[in-house]
Structure 1
Amino acid sequence: MRRRSHVPSTGLFDESVAYWLTLPLHWSGQMFRNGSDILRVLDILRFRPLAAGLVNVDHPWVTGVSPHTGELIWRDNLIYRSPPAEHLANISDETVLLANGRFLAQRVRQSAIVPEVPIGPARRMPHCINYMHGSSHFNSGIILLNDLQDAYRHINDPAFRRELARFVKAERREVLFMLRDRDYDPREYAYLSCCMRTHFRWFCNPNGPQAHVLWGNSAPFPAANLITGYWSDDVYALKKSGGADAVARPPIGHGHYFQSGPYDQGREYAIWPEKLLAWGSYYRIRMRGRKGGMFFIDRRDVYADQIARRAQRGLPDEERARF
């Protein structure tokens, strides 16, 4: 059953008008924003590739420990959290933050080892992608919510979006959404990611523990990163002298953002433009065939061992959510 929004009827009308007026601007802006990010990734992947060892195994991106506090960074970068739902009360914030943070930190570690770990079972991703994971988990503002419906209510609340935009403008960071509930509908998760892409001009990757959703990959808990483009400030800094020290940004701290709620007064479902964007993305990935949803690498090469094992069991070569 769809929950009615608490926004007054006049506010709903204004919000609806703003939605349709800004939709083409957000989609076109996202196309240019995403195109710019793709060119920068290609630069550090193929034209001027980043090498292993630009950070070492004791670096904050690898350990998760802030040099400014001596503590793990993720709780201090939590800029907003919704109260845990009753059915998720047994899942602590610490559990979600540590699981996803350490998962991404381990990816960075694969590129911190010298001599270089070859591409394959021990290192699936190119070094530049692993370094991007460092920026994502260590420097992003983290938003922790309950489940997909909770996320919809926040994303569709104009007050929440304004505050999120204020954070990005002030801090020049990425945004990482985490959900406590690991039991989600993959199609609804795809719709949610495209709901974010429709409200903002930034791309969104829906990562999580179930079958891969659209361009998303694996993660211990659902983690949708809103890619604002500021990852490049951190990753390109690694090329400079002293860059490895500079990229471990100070903790954001609490009490600076999202202090005037409520922020969960929006609709809790997707509407047709968001579904259309999800379906378009889905069929685009399907047309890639066995390359799947990995844009910058050929998964047939780097996941050859897993593909072979799945074939022996009579399974498809990639566990991808189907619409």
Structure 2
Amino acid sequence: MPLLIGGGVVGIVLIGLLVFLGVKALGGDDEPDAGPTTSQSSEPTGNPSNGGDNGTLGNATGQAKTATEKLQGSGYQCSDLFNTGQGAHRGCFKYDGPTEAEAIFQFQPDGTILGVLLKSQNEDNVNNAAVTFDAALQAIGNDTFGGDQVKKIQDAVKTGQKSQKVGSTWGEFELRNDGDELQLSGGKSGADSLDLPRKSFDTTEAQLIAALKTKKYVCTTSCSKQVGKYGSQRIYSYASKGEGIRSLEMSASGDPEDVKTALPAAVNDAFAALKGEDVAALKSYVQAHNDGKSYSAYVAGWRVEIIANNEDSYSSSRISVSYETFYV
């Protein structure tokens, strides 16, 4: 009799344990572990292979945290293409009048920066492009490469050569100086860059073109409609033959009032024809940033650029969604 009672007790205990483990496996109540210090927010980064859905930042410590905070202090908007336990790919973007700049870097979980890509462009003022480039170089480089190595790069910029290699104790850099555009790329010695997700929509170019033709677009190398007396709205895509679209561009130009309605129409027409798990997040981001300003961010593993040029008598705006490339 005691054995039977003992067995019953053991059975009840085992059943209780199994129920508890089942609840844990299904994500039952459990206090989360404290994560590392974040550089901007503690919002989730979404599917690790796709990145955040709304241009958000994940965790960062060390060099990556310092660089991010300095760039944000200079007016850059930063977001993660992905941020996982294996490392992260972060982009910081800035639009200041005609000056466009970006600082992209990859880093390890401890914040150690593995590779960088810096760009600054201003077709109207070469000096402004150089000043913006130098500020980003120092924001990332002083803590990552060291001030003496930053000076090597600064001296190379001053020589004015179109393209040159710059060696440093951190790694080797490729510098390109076209006057109105400066670019620097480099990777840490002995470190491999992180793989980027290959992105594509489920829709092919042929399917997109067929859908746009039903909406009265004229399609040749791109699909377009006339807007007003002299404007147009245009949709362009790229994909390998028979494969899903890998980049998409929507634009409108003409009278400012016409563009205000033409660009949202192009956005709606393009996204209505696309299929894929990222379509809703991308459309949501684009529509939330329809205020006539320029933006860049990583959204759902894609790079989104919204470029606006507004004048009193003529306006042009372009939105691009593309897979990211990163060569250092």
Calculate the TM-score normalised by the size of structure 2.
Answer: 0.26
Instruction: Identify the structure with the greater strand proportion.
Output: 2
Q: Which has the larger radius of gyration?
A: 2
Name which structure has the greater RCO, CA cutoff 8 Å, separation 6+: 1
Instruction: Identify the structure with the greater helix proportion.
Output: 1
